[in-house]
Every structure is written in structure tokens, then in C-alpha cells.
């Protein structure tokens, strides 16, 4: 079955530590996105990529980094520069940017300990 796989489901980070969240899709979608969701809040765009080897900052990119070396994969690194990283992180993909709905992965819940 086609879909998006995010791992791990739960992640705990110590202060000053970088962590990487995995996102893999087998839908053959060109575009991929990373969102952050805080309790009771909407989705905020962190980074997006329209094509391999290209990505753009979203609304809240500070403290995060991404790469898009393969069409299927779009990992997100939460760096120590992100001062408030505790949140629910969602990866999504779409055929292309434009008039297409997004398919979401199951999410990674990151907690700073």
C-alpha cells in the first residue's frame, strides 16, 4: 500500500541535542512538506520541497534543517538552536504544489527532557 511513513513515533531530546525525524513516501509524489502542530493550534509550515535537491523555508524554519537527496525521503533535523521543540511534527506529500490535497504521515511527537 502506498503511503507516508514517519519514524520514530515518539522521540525524546535532551537540551542542546540535534535530532532527526524520518519521512519516507512511496506515492511517487514530487512535493513534500514538514509541519509543526502545538496543542490546540493549527499546522505551521517549517520547510517544503517541490523537487529533489531543492527545498524552501516555510513560516517557522529557524532552528530546523532538511535535505531532499531522494524523491522518496525528506528528513527533518531539529537543531539545538530550536528553543522550543516540543511539538507534534507532521510530514506530508502531494503530487505537486498547486491544486492537490496533501497526504499526511502518522506524525512524530517530540519532547524535550
Partner 1 sequence: QKEVEQNSGPLSVPEGAIASLNCTYSDRGSQSFFWYRQYSGKSPELIMSIYSNGDKEDGRFTAQLNKASQYVSLLIRDSQPSDSATYLCAVNLEGYGNKLVFGAGTILRVKS
* Contact footprint for partner 1 (CB under 8 A): 33, 41-43, 45, 48, 56, 90, 97-107
Min separation Cβ 15 and partner 1, Å: 25
Question: Cβ 50 to partner 1, closest distance in Å?
Answer: 9
Q: Which is nearer to partner 1, 78 or 91 (CB)?
A: 91
Strands 10-13 and 108-112: parallel
Phi and psi (nearest 5°) for 89? Answer: -105, 130
Pick between residue 19 and residue 47 the one whose CB is nearest to partner 1.
47
Judge residue 46's burial from the number of C-beta atoms within 10 Å of its C-beta, 0-12 exposed, 13-18 middle, 19 or more buried.
Answer: buried
Amino acid at each position: 500500500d502506498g503511503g507516508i511513513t514517519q519514524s520514530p513515533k515518539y522521540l525524546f531530546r535532551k537540551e542542546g541535542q540535534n535530532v532527526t525525524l524520518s519521512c519516507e513516501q512511496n506515492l511517487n509524489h514530487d512535493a513534500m512538506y514538514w509541519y509543526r502542530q502545538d496543542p490546540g493550534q493549527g499546522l505551521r509550515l517549517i520547510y517544503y520541497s517541490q523537487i529533489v535537491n531543492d527545498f524552501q523555508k516555510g513560516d517557522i524554519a529557524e532552528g530546523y534543517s532538511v535535505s531532499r537527496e531522494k524523491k522518496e525521503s525528506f528528513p527533518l533535523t531539529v537543531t539545538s538552536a530550536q528553543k522550543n521543540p516540543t511539538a507534534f511534527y507532521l510530514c506530508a506529500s502531494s503530487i505537486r504544489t498547486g491544486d492537490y490535497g496533501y497526504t499526511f504521515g502518522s506524525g512524530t511527537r517530540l519532547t524535550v527532557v
